[in-house]
């Protein structure tokens, strides 16, 4: 009887953990779609980026074998300035699409690997780091690989 109870309990626990992981994955995917893909890459609402990225977020960039950091407030500011300087080009800009490759979620921490595509060309592979705060998941860091332009 004890073994049966343990097996049933383990089964329910497994279902709960799986359901929670699926809920977290859906919440993270929705956040990335709104705050990152649409707001940053597809010229969407930058307020969504402000909500989805933690204020301490840094984009890590390698330039000339040196590591540089781009804080989220600078990234959002440059996106806003680009939109003001050249609004006509934004209307004709090709849509960036996202392909999710991997979710690794453990408790309140997650890493998501994704690809960004534009004009049927892979432009970036990104690794986004996220933490879950009281008000939900937030993107806290990013590294990436820029794919060579296909000619």
Considering the domain boundaries, does residue 42 fall inside one?
A: yes
**pTM value?**
0.83
Q: Show the domain range for 120.
A: 2-146
Tell whether the model's pLDDT for residue 95 goes beyond 90.
yes
Domain total for the chain? 1
Considering the domain boundaries, does residue 84 fall inside one?
A: yes
CATH assignment at residue 106? 3.10.450.50
CA neighbor of 51 nearest in space, from 26, 31, 71: 31
Task: Express each pLDDT in 9-49 by its tens digit.
Answer: 555 545 555 566 689 999 999 999 999 999 999 999 999 99
Question: What is the band of 115 on the pLDDT scale with cuts at 50, 70, 90?
Answer: very high
Considering the domain boundaries, does residue 151 fall inside one?
A: no
CA triple 107-32-76, angle to 5 deg = 120
Q: Retrieve residue 47's tokens.
A: 């307020």
Residue with tokens 């680009």: 82
């Amino acid at each position: 009887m004890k073994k049966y109870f343990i097996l049933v309990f383990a089964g329910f626990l497994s279902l709960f953990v799986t359901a929670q992981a699926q809920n977290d994955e859906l919440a993270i995917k929705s956040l990335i779609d709104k705050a990152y893909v649409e707001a940053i890459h597809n010229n969407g609402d930058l307020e969504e980026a402000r909500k989805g990225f933690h204020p301490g977020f840094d984009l890590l960039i390698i330039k000339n074998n040196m590591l540089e950091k781009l804080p989220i407030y600078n990234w959002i500011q440059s996106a806003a300035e680009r939109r003001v300087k050249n609004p006509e080009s934004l209307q004709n800009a090709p849509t960036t699409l996202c392909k999710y490759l991997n979710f690794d979620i453990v408790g309140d921490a997650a890493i998501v690997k994704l690809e960004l595509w534009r004009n049927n060309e892979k432009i970036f592979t990104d690794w986004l780091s996220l933490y879950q705060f009281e008000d939900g998941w937030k993107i806290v860091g990013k590294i990436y690989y820029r794919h060579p332009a296909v000619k």
